[in-house]
Structure 1
Amino acid sequence: MDPPPPVRPAGETSQTLDRGLRLLHLVADAPGGLTVTEAANRLGIGRAAVYRLVTPLAGHGMLRRDTDGRLRLGAGVLQLARRAQPLLAEGALPALRRLAEQAGATAHLTVVEGGEGVALAVVEPSWTSFHVAYRTGARHPLERGAAGQAILAGRTGAAGPVSTVGELQPGAYGVAAPVLGVPGLEASVGVVALAPLDTDAVGAQVLAAATAVAAALR
């Protein structure tokens, strides 16, 4: 019978977990990846300690080392993110329903995935004769459309609504605002319509919805 694994003090286990999570955040914030030395310097620990963190994280697919030996996020992080997406959508739906009915336009929650904006949840208004059909899962560059531009604005701390015309679909009008204050989430809430929108009134509604979504997801 194999001997039982050594029992680590609770404080040591918590410290290891904290360092592992901090390492994941550091790598996630480094587009070009991190060397072990860079990670050690930023964590304030030795290279050997970083290697001890990397081994189990790589085993679970959370980290990987590229051909240059730099640490990068692994596919396991994407798998966790995809499993969390239904929970995000569920939490956002009440605010999206209110927004769609108020604005008379298709409301959506857009999140960042792979450097693009992805429509995670879409709600259409119930009382309009015509509205934009916006497919859940639709992807677009962050630089195009109100949803992506709102996310980019949110990266600078700007919370105000963003409006665009015809950038993703000819003749479509969009207004969106970033979802701020939810750790690990880059997202926006917005509406899209076939007719011009009152940017002041709808902008206020979108901003209120984005605030409500952030509160629901914290």
Structure 2
Amino acid sequence: MTSGRPGHGPTEPGGERTSSGRPGETAQTLDRGLRLLHLVADAPGGLTVTEAAHRLGIGRAAVYRLVSALTGHGMLRRDRAGRLRLGAGVLHLARRAQPLLAEGAMPALRRLAEQAGATAHLTVVEGDEGVALAVVEPSWTAFHVAYRTGSRHPLERGAAGRAILAGRAGSAGPVTTEGELQPGAYGVAAPVLGVPGLEASVGVVALAPLDAATVGGQVLTAATAIAHALS
């Protein structure tokens, strides 16, 4: 039988103490749960409970309690090998957040489309693809690229995806491409940096070559404005 010191919860296997419901302990549990979600999200092959316990620096019993709660809310799941993976609940939350992201980005995208005379877009990461979350077409051009919201493409192709990869590497861009997603289309994009939990880029695509210096500066300004709007 185990017992704790006065003022502390009882000790469980692995050296962890059960929560007595005090605010500090509740906040610690929440922090560990969120850290566990981030660890699983960053592990393409999933994590075992033992691996998660080691990386969090806590006992297996505590990880099992976190997994039980997060699985109940659909945030985690166990695959056939028993490894921890993200659950469908995370995707549900992400989809619910997307309209808010698009709304926050729209003013900067409108300015960018009008300044550059090109179709402006906000692209976010889903898995190993970039997805166009918001698109704004210029109002004064005779011709422009029709770019559909929801369009997907590999991160390794196109200015939007390459800008996201550049942001992962610590570069603010801008990135320019020609004909990678559509023959005769030119793109300039920059990553949206400084928004926790968000991997995204903002850019423009046009049917004619773009002035990299001028449009690149406009794209960088838009990326900064969107980062401030979403922070």
Counting only pairs closer than 5 Å after superposition, residues 153-192 of structure 1 correspond to structure 2 as 153-192=166-205
Which runs of at least 4 in structure 1 moved beyond 3 Å after TM superposition? none
From 88, 93, 112, the equivalent of 2:101 is 88
What is the deviation of 1:199?
0.5
1:113 is aligned to 2:117: no
From 14, 29, 38, the equivalent of 1:16 is 29
What is the deviation of 1:11?
1.5
**Alpha-carbon displacement from aligned partner over 1:36-73 (angstroms, at most 9, x marks no partner):** 11111111110000000000100111001111111111
Amino acid in structure 2 at the alignment position of 1:75? A
Amino acid in structure 1 at the alignment position of 2:159? A
1:71 is aligned to 2:84: yes
In structure 2, what is the equivalent of residue 54 of structure 1?
67
What is the deviation of 1:20?
0.5
What is the deviation of 1:7?
6.7
Instruction: Name stretches of at least 5 consecutive residues in structure 2 with no aligned partner.
Output: 1-18
Amino acid in structure 1 at the alignment position of 2:174? P
From 107, 114, 119, the equivalent of 1:101 is 114
In structure 1, what is the equivalent of residue 150 of structure 2?
137
From 163, 188, 198, the equivalent of 2:211 is 198
From 32, 35, 39, the equivalent of 2:52 is 39
CA–CA distance in structure 1, aligned partners of residues 197 and 42 of structure 2? 10
Q: Is 200-209 or 7-16 further displaced after alignment? A: 7-16
TM-score in terms of structure 1 length: 0.96
Instruction: Name stretches of at least 5 consecutive residues in structure 1 with no aligned partner.
Output: 1-5
In structure 1, what is the equivalent of residue 16 of structure 2?
none
In structure 2, what is the equivalent of residue 3 of structure 1?
none
Count, aligned residues:
213
TM-score in terms of structure 2 length: 0.90
Amino acid in structure 2 at the alignment position of 1:139? R
CA–CA distance in structure 2, aligned partners of residues 120 and 160 of structure 1? 20
What is the deviation of 1:114?
2.4
1:150 is aligned to 2:163: yes
1:122 is aligned to 2:135: yes
Identity among equivalent positions (%) equals 86
CA–CA distance in structure 1, aligned partners of residues 67 and 48 of structure 2? 11
Amino acid in structure 1 at the alignment position of 2:176? S
Greater Rg over alpha carbons, structure: 2
CA–CA distance in structure 2, aligned partners of residues 32 and 104 of structure 1? 43
